[in-house]
Amino acid sequence: MLPTNSEPTKDITTKCLSKSDHALVAWRESNESPLHGECWTSSKWRASVRRGLLGWFKKESRDLPWRSDSTPYRVWVSEIMLQQTQVATVVEYYHRFMDSFPTIHALAEASEQEVLAHWEGLGYYRRARSLHAAARVIVEQHDAKFPCSYEEVIALPGIGRYTAGAILSISQGQRLPILEGNTQRVFSRWIGMRGPVTDRAATKLLWKFAEAMLPTRNPGNFNQAAMEIGALLCRPTEPDCKGCPVASSCEANRLGLQGEIPGKVKKVVYEDRREFAFVIKEKPSDSTIDSSRYLVRLLPEGVRWAGLWDFPRTTEQSYESALKAGHGLSAELGFMIVPGEKLASLRHAVTRFRIDLQIHESDYRPFPGDSWRVPKPWKFATVTELDNLPMSVSGRKIVDRIRKQESNS
């Protein structure tokens, strides 16, 4: 149970406070913030935590490709890939991406399709599109050199306060704080902050704390170490407090509240949705064509997976049957879909939707008076051609399914 009526811990007396400590106490008192200990307003406490953390990081940090040569570009790419994605998944993508686009210039020169193809399977494709757009801005406005002022960096597409702080502190040693999933949890536990980390007051407090904790020398190392301890020891469940270098200073450990801190964030309520995708094979008028081709399109701006290729598919709305889904989609596509046999079903999640995707073989017909040519941006592509187009994970599974079917026939 949370000790909701307990007082914040007073670890210090005002007698032993330094000037910066007084400033923090004043800030604390002028802000309404959730229940937490006050240990961190003591510079001695902050110095001891830094020492423990940095000593541990020196010995235990993982050897990651973006750490060996931390140029702004390399750190930037890694930070964007690591958003919402585990390190273990990112490493392989990172190597491939850097091999193909070793410089900002190379990235800016590539087409969006090439960049998305390197991102396929990582999800959250908007990240790749923003990265590419930002590379073009850097080439046009900063002579292909990653800018070094916080204001210029945060103005780039896809870069927020956390990413700007991470890039500039790690690659250039600028004294900028960071706050992301791992550090939210670690910092909350260090200071015994009981509120959910997403509450406004909690966020404000944690940013202030992150800033107060930064050492003058090598702040990027501190930021990396704080994220690393969150990934390796101070895990969401079952943190390894016995092996933790800051256990003696940690308020959550002292109070035995590791399981309650950080406070629970309101759970996402998932919505079930049934969507349909249609596999439409071209009817070749020319009998010399020996490879089957399938109907796909480049998804336009403003829709899910913009910039990727996809089969005709319903989104935004749940349908009861393939027939109704086919009718619903026909007006949008500019031709009629006539659903046939079901090929497979797939379950996947997109944001807050749990999707049951039903895949049907289908036929298409023009509306009365129209020609049999499919309107742009639709086109027919062979399986080999589909292999070279960037697609979502579920789109790629449909291609694999078609390939299997072709090899069995």
Residue 235 beta carbon to ligand SF4: minimum distance, rounded to whole angstroms: 8
Q: Which is nearer to ligand SF4, 245 or 326 (CB)?
A: 245
Binding ligand SF4 by CB under 6 A: which of 183, 253, 314, 358? 253
Q: Which of 163, 258, 392, 394 binds ligand SF4 (CB under 6 A)?
A: 258
223 and 170 Cβ atoms separated by less than 8 Å: yes
Report the SS3 class of residue 202: helix
Question: In this chain, which of 189, 293, 313, 360 binds ligand SF4, going by CB under 6 A?
Answer: 189
Minimum CB separation of residue 267 from ligand SF4 in Å reads 22
Question: If binding is defined by CB under 6 A, does position 244 make contact with ligand SF4?
Answer: yes
Q: Please state, in angstroms and rounded to a whole number, the distance separating the CA atoms of residues 161 and 180.
A: 10
Tokens at 395, concatenated: 């789109």
- 79, 180, 251, 275: the catalytic one is 79
Q: Which listed residue (247, 298, 338, 344) binds ligand SF4 by CB under 6 A?
A: 247
**250 belongs to the binding site for ligand SF4 (CB under 6 A):** yes
**Placement of tokens 């101070």 in the chain:** 234
Provide the greatest CA pair distance for the chain: 92
- Scanning 30-38, 104-112, 136-144, 237-245 for contacts with ligand SF4 by CB under 6 A, the matching segment is 237-245
Judged by CB under 6 A, does residue 239 bind ligand SF4? yes
* DSSP H or E stretch at residue 133: helix 126-142
Smallest distance, ligand SF4 to C-beta of residue 241, A: 3
User: Would you say 177 or 262 has its CB closer to ligand SF4?
Assistant: 262
Site for ligand SF4 in 127-186 (CB under 6 A): 186
The pair of three-digit structure tokens given for residue 300, joined into one six-digit string: 């336009």
If you ran DSSP here, which 8-state letter would residue 357 be given? E
Count residues contacting ligand SF4 (CB under 6 A)? 15
Contact present, 176 and 222 (Cβ < 8 Å):
no
By the rule CB under 6 A, 394 interacts with ligand SF4: no
Q: According to the binding rule CB under 6 A, does residue 252 interact with ligand SF4?
A: yes
List the x/- string, 217-236, binding to ligand SF4 by CB under 6 A.
----------------xx--
Task: Decide: is 35 part of the binding site for ligand SF4 (CB under 6 A).
Answer: no
How far apart are the C-alpha atoms of 6 and 285, rounded to whole Å?
Answer: 79
What is the sign, positive or negative, of the torsion defined by CA atoms of 157, 162, 166, 169?
A: positive
The CA–CA distances, whole Å, from 246 to 40, 58, 218, 229 equal 13, 14, 19, 10
Beta bridge partners of 391: 309
Helix (H) or strand (E) holding 400: helix 393-408
Strands ordered across the beta sheet of 309-310: 309-310, 294-298, 378-381
In the residue annotation, 282 being an active-site residue is answered as no
Q: Of these, 35, 154, 241, 298, which contacts ligand SF4 (CB under 6 A)?
A: 241
The catalytic residue positions are 79
Binding site for ligand SF4 (CB under 6 A): 186, 189-190, 233-234, 239-241, 244, 246-247, 250, 252-253, 258
